[in-house]
Amino acid sequence: MRRLAPHLWICGLVAGIGLSGCGGAASSLPGGGAPPLQQKTPSSGSTPIQHVVFIVQENRSFDNLFADFPGADGATRGRMKVKYQGKYHDIWVPLQAHALVNGFDIQHCHTAFLTDYDNGKMDGFGQVSRGACGTQGKPAGKAVYQYVEPSQIAPYWFIANEWGLADHMFQNQGSGSFIAHQDLIRGGSRINTRYSLVDNPNVMPWGCDAGGGHTSLITLKGKYLPYVQKGPFPCTNKFPSSSYYEVISDLLDKAGVSWHYYSPCFKGYNPNNCDQSCPALCSGGILNAFDVIARVRYGAEWGTNVSMPETNLFTDISSGNLAAVSWVIPSDANSDHPGEGCGCDTGPSWVASIVNAIGQTNYWNSSVIVVLWDDWGGFYDHVAPDESPGWGGNGFRIPMLVLSPYVKIGAGSKGGYVSSTPYSYGSLLRYVEDNWNLGRLGTSDSTANSISDMLDYTQKQRGFTTIPSQHSIEYFKRQKATPQHGDPE
């Protein structure tokens, strides 16, 4: 399928759904009214940034969303290992256009990563089974050699054309969502000097609210057998030393810097943990990274700094209470996760609604917004991660979008900037640490490149342009809550 130039198909989509937004900066809030005053938060004084917002989506590789984005390191074909006459050979297969909605999940635990990676050949993706790790499913075959048609994810391409796209952002580890979300608040998942967590706990939900179960462990040299599902219960009060497992909120709290972690209510596995009103003590679910941190889960920050449901973010923005640092976790329906039973494709609109809610207020002038996908989800990507020393090395590439008045002006027709600097989740933490002079956690934040090189504080501030999308902010405020069953990996 041949596709239109990015600005043509974006504007075509906007016209088709009856929305405006192919040019012109927003000047007012939806429905009118003055933008809220900015909340005062401690700052290092060295940058104009007072707010950093991480919007975390699910399970997409870079090539799956931005295969041939102009100027980026994408691919239109992939290397695939096949067996012929008793021997394995590599063939090249074209990446096929696909809708965002995908009818099946793909294994993406650490063993699947090793199969995909194949010692750097990046040819094993089709050999991994469909379904959850530990189950025997049908091999994925050519189904994972695909890209999402840009018209299906127009808000993402709009952002990349207008602001910043990183094409060498890697997961910290080759594993699933549980580890990825720990890496997003810690930059690593070591529980002591010998072992690190890997893969998902064997019982849901993933955290202190689990009724039992165990984690899996990996060693310094990247070996994890025989430690599969023989690690500690997934709550820091059961780790060898909970004080060893410091997270970014510990540094923020010490410095008096505000933070919020917005997460859906969890109703899927123990309905008694959360009623329809989503009380503060409802279970954290499987994608709530702070449900693992006992001092948060059983402390005053649960139900306050950890805010449920995730749509509370809109209220905090409109009331002028946006924290200095925020994470936003979507519901299953809005997550871009493949294989969701609802057949939902509302993730791009969900992201656009959050960005628009911030961009149409004074918060825009002092914010950096980062959109990323927590792991590769089993989809093909052509760039092999560096063989970094440590706990299994980096995982695969995932897309990362950066929006701010200070994102560098790039060579794209709309000023979009493409960064090929290698980043990891430690890069996000390092940026926050440097911006507020927090010190270091001493995980991957100590060696990762900060995302600050995508920004230029000396340039004229870039105005905000409303992101066109199919669904509005009000749609998500009214959206009926669904059980947060979530990612089997």
The reply to whether 204 falls in a domain is: yes
The reply to whether 95 falls in a domain is: no
The reply to whether 161 falls in a domain is: yes
Total structural domains in the chain?
Answer: 1
The reply to whether 113 falls in a domain is: no
Q: Are 241 and 194 in contact (CB under 8 A)?
A: no
Instruction: Mark out the alpha helices in 282-400 (DSSP H runs).
Output: 294-297, 312-318, 347-359
- The end-to-end CA distance of the chain, in Å, is 32
Per-residue pLDDT of the chain (489 residues; tens, 9 = 90+): 333 344 444 444 444 333 434 444 333 323 333 344 444 455 556 899 999 999 999 999 999 999 999 999 999 999 999 988 888 999 999 999 999 998 888 988 998 999 999 999 999 999 999 877 877 778 889 999 999 999 999 999 999 999 999 999 999 989 999 999 999 999 999 999 889 999 999 888 889 988 888 999 998 777 776 788 899 999 999 999 888 999 999 999 999 999 999 998 765 444 444 545 555 445 556 789 999 999 999 999 998 999 988 999 999 999 999 999 999 999 888 999 887 667 789 999 999 999 999 999 999 999 999 999 999 999 999 999 986 656 767 899 999 999 999 999 998 779 999 999 999 999 999 999 999 999 999 999 999 999 999 999 999 999 999 999 999 999 999 887 655 555 556
Q: Element (H or E) spanning 166, and its range?
A: strand 164-166
The reported pLDDT for the residue numbered 258 is: 98
Distance CA 298, CA 295 (A): 6
Backbone angles phi, psi at 372, to 5 degrees: -150, 165
The reported pLDDT for the residue numbered 277 is: 54
What tokens appear for 435 in the block?
């911006």
Distance CA 270, CA 268 (A): 6
Distance CA 373, CA 177 (A): 10
What is the residue range of 447's domain? 6-76+148-478
The reply to whether 128 falls in a domain is: no
- CATH code for position 210: 3.40.720.10
The reported pLDDT for the residue numbered 21 is: 44
* Residues 403, 407, 413: CA angle, nearest 5 degrees: 90
DSSP tag of 17: T
The reply to whether 87 falls in a domain is: no
From residue 124, alpha-carbon distances to 121, 148, 263 in Å are 8, 20, 34
Lookup result for tokens 């940058």: 47
Backbone angles phi, psi at 17, to 5 degrees: -105, 5
The reply to whether 54 falls in a domain is: yes
Annotate 59-118 with three-state secondary structure. CCCHHHHHCCCCCCCCCCEEEEEEEECCEEEEEEEECEEECCCCCCCECCCHHHHHHHHH
Q: Are strands 259-262 and 164-166 parallel, antiparallel or unpaired?
A: unpaired
The reply to whether 94 falls in a domain is: no
The reported pLDDT for the residue numbered 44 is: 56
